[in-house]
Chain A
């Protein structure tokens, strides 16, 4: 199990991710998504589940949002605010959640 997976599982289970280091950008970046998509990306009401999302699909769909190639309400506006590196971190994280 990679460290990221361990972190994801820990957060999912509500167990403290001991020693989450601030120099790993994952926890803070993923928090932006949690505001609407739920604590572990589990989805909320009509907002989509992103936990367990296929990593390649996550990045491809993000790119479609960014380029207005996909019907959207707000994700197109959000997607343009993140760099490729940041999207990869988010894809790693959410794809690792069971």
Chain B
């Protein structure tokens, strides 16, 4: 494969794999081939940024799903504030920019040959590879929770085809009057630290209107969580005693489920019957990076803080939730923000530039608590020689205080969250 010229490689791919769209997009004067695995917040942003800023580079994006369902704003489907089509995005905008979008699943990476094997049997040659594969769910970490169990107790923690989040929404609609909704929330680290607590809020927002005697039991494997004070204010102000949060030190860790009898079973053997269950299982990096030796024994991928090149392989840059990047959160905005530094660093090698100096990584995580009720955490991160750090004396949480004094602040943050969603999804797909 490596002895083929670029042109003959393109022709070969075109001939051998009908799933590969428009091989003619390979540019005649290409300065290199950038292959990107994963079309989410990291990968789609990387592809678009590369096409705009490095027009001579061939960009191929490998993504198994035909469209992208965002995890951000998925909770708003549960709250009745969005529908699935409103959070589903097409790759046509990237195609129009000249990205070769390949609907396939990356099955294997060969770092020595610099090839990506696809599930369909085709193979892609790269000069630089960006991998933004997202998370994997740790099947078996909760006894009884396997693929089949997700139909009864959806996780709704990966966008996929959208069926997990609509499943959970349908179950909430069918909840018996005064019924019990249970959530099982994992230990750190996991995707979207404030996500479970926004979800609790959005479920309560919906039930308050349709089923006000219902109960939400949030079983947590931790004893604290992101934006905790702000969320506890939301719950007290808007939802009274509908929500009960049960931390690990009050036997909140769910270690097993029984889908037949709809039971959550705690660490100390307590059985909790729920009418609707949402199990957010413990997580690891996606299989592609663990199978190819890019992850270490934590299950996550160590990377260079200035280039995002994986410690374990040359010319492979890993971004997004799969990486070890604390104190940066596993968030869509961080995947988006870091993708641009990763692209710039990777392509500097190919285009004669230098790697970005003093990169700054930016994150705002907005959460919706209810109607016109937004809260946020902000951070500006910088690379250090051995990792990442939050810029001192910056960032932080929305102010706390009585809703009577902060109503306009909460309303504005809710609208800013909506604008963030529109802006960042354009930054990925337009």
Given contacts A31-B337, A73-B416, A74-B378, contact A38 B360 (CB under 8 A): no
B345 / chain A contacts, CB cutoff of 8 Å: 22
Q: Are A77 and B357 in contact (CB under 8 A)?
A: no
Is A77 within 8 A of B423, CB to CB? Answer: no
Contacts of A25 in B (CB 8 A): 356-358
Question: Which of A31, A35, A46, A78 has the most chain B CB within a 10 Å cutoff?
Answer: A35
Query: DSSP majority for the B interface?
Result: helix
Contact A39 B426 (CB under 8 A): yes
A28–chain B nearest beta-carbon distance, Å: 6
A22/B344 in contact, CB under 8 A: yes
At the interface with chain A, which of B49-57, B242-250, B256-264?
A: B49-57
B82 at the A/B interface (Cβ < 8 Å)? no
Interface string of B356-373 (1 = CB under 8 A from A): 111110101000000000
**Does B418 have its Cβ within 8 Å of any Cβ on chain A?**
yes
CB-CB < 8 A to A37: which residues of B? 423
**Chain B: number of interface residues, binned into ranges:** 35 or more
Q: How far is the CA of A36 from the CA of B417 in the complex (A)?
A: 8
- Are A17 and B354 interface neighbours, CB within 8 A? no
CB proximity of B194 to chain A, nearest CB, Å: 15
- A45-B418, A80-B394 given as contacts; is B376 within 8 A of A86 (CB)? no
Complex: A29 Cα to B423 Cα, angstroms:
16
Q: Is the CB of A22 within 8 A of B356?
A: yes
| Interchain nearest-CB distance for B394 vs A (Å) | 3
Taking CB as reference atom, which chain B residue is nearest A11? B52
A74 partner residues in chain B, CB cutoff 8 A: 364, 376, 378, 398, 413, 416
For this complex, into which size category does the number of interface residues on chain A fall? 35 or more
- Tell me the complex Cα distance, A73–B358, Å: 27
Does B423 lie within 8 Å of A44, measured CB to CB? yes
Chain A residue with Cβ nearest B56: A18
Name A's interface SS: loop
Minimum CB–CB distance for B119 against chain A, Å: 32
How far, in angstroms, from A74 to B394 measured CA to CA in the complex? 11
CB-nearest residue of chain B to A21 = B353
Inter-chain contact A46/B395, CB cutoff 8 Å: no
**In angstroms, how far is the closest chain A Cβ from the Cβ of B335?**
11
A86 to B391: give the CA distance in the assembly, Å: 13
Contacts of A36 in B (CB 8 A): 364, 416, 419-420, 423-424
A2 to B336, CA, bound (A): 29
| Complex contact B356–A28 (CB within 8 A) | yes
Q: Which residues of A from 1 to 41 have beta carbons under 8 Å from B?
A: 11, 14, 16-23, 25, 27-29, 31-32, 34-39
Contact of A28 among B340, B396, B409 (CB under 8 A): B340
Q: Give A53-69 interface residues, CB cut-off 8 Å to B.
A: none
Q: Which residue of A lies closest to B55 (CB)?
A: A16
Tell me, yes or no, whether B90 is within 8 Å of chain A by CB. no
Could you list 20 examples of A-B contacts with CB < 8 Å? A16-B54, A19-B353, A20-B53, A23-B356, A25-B356, A25-B357, A28-B344, A31-B427, A36-B419, A38-B423, A45-B419, A47-B415, A73-B412, A74-B364, A77-B395, A78-B394, A78-B395, A81-B378, A81-B391, A82-B394
B residues with CB within 8 A of A: 49, 51-55, 333, 336-337, 340-341, 344-345, 347-348, 351, 353-360, 362, 364, 376, 378-380, 391, 393-396, 398, 409, 412-413, 415-416, 418-420, 422-424, 426-427, 430
10 closest Cβ pairs, A-B complex: A81-B380, A81-B394, A45-B419, A32-B362, A16-B55, A80-B394, A44-B419, A46-B415, A22-B344, A47-B419
